[in-house]
Amino acid sequence: MKTRTLRHLTKASLFAMGIWLGNGATVALAADITVYKSPTCGCCAGWVDHMKENGFSVAVKEREDLSPIKSHYGVPENLESCHTAEVEGYTIEGHVPASDVLRLLAERPKARGLAVPGMPIGSPGMEMGNEKEPYPVVIFGEDGQFIYARH
């Protein structure tokens, strides 16, 4: 019963945010996301492309040193990756799939943001042919760190 209600609320939220396609996907309204990345990082550019392909309006700010950005947005050291982004008050760290960002924006949990620690092969921007390694998406905030999704 609880799962059914949550699923219904999630669908309603996704519909309100974009267009529910019936197969679990949505088309996002142009959410603005700001990405801080190194000017030389190719995988970060791949993640930016992934976000654009999924309906996000992306502003890129290149920095040589991302440590102050990560500190400002409250990214725990154990969750750090190669780029940091901000969307509608949430921090997105690393190669988080657009589908998980859309879910975050639809559900609006009390959290600081989402992270994919490190640079897992097969995550958005880290594609290497058919190679894929399993990886978690972690939700983090004042209440701690928890698995939000697995890919």
Q: What is the pLDDT along the chain (151 residues), one digit of tens a residue?
A: 333 334 444 444 444 445 444 445 455 466 999 999 999 998 999 999 999 999 999 999 999 999 999 999 999 999 999 999 999 999 999 999 999 999 999 999 999 999 999 999 999 999 999 999 999 999 999 999 999 999 9
Give the angle 43-54-63 at the CA atoms, nearest 5°.
35
Instruction: Report the C-alpha gap between 72 and 81 in whole angstroms.
Output: 15
What does the alpha-carbon distance between residue 117 and residue 115 come to, in Å, rounded to a whole number? 6
Stated pTM of the model? 0.81
Domain membership of residue 17 (yes or no) is no
The verdict on residue 64 lying in a domain is yes
> Is 16 part of a structural domain of the chain?
no
Decide if 3 is inside a domain.
Answer: no
Beta-carbon count within 10 A of 34 CB: 15
How far is the C-alpha of 38 from the C-alpha of 4, rounded, in Å?
43
Q: For residue 101, is it within any domain? A: yes
Domain presence at residue 12: no
Residue type, 130: N
Which residue range forms the structural domain that includes residue 123? 27-150
Number of domains in the chain: 1
In a domain, 18, yes or no: no
With vertex at residue 92, the alpha carbon angle to CA 51 and CA 107, rounded to the nearest 5 degrees, is: 85
Domain contains 6: no
Whichever domain contains 87, its CATH number is 3.40.30.10
Letter for the amino acid at 33? I
CA distance 141 to 91: 10
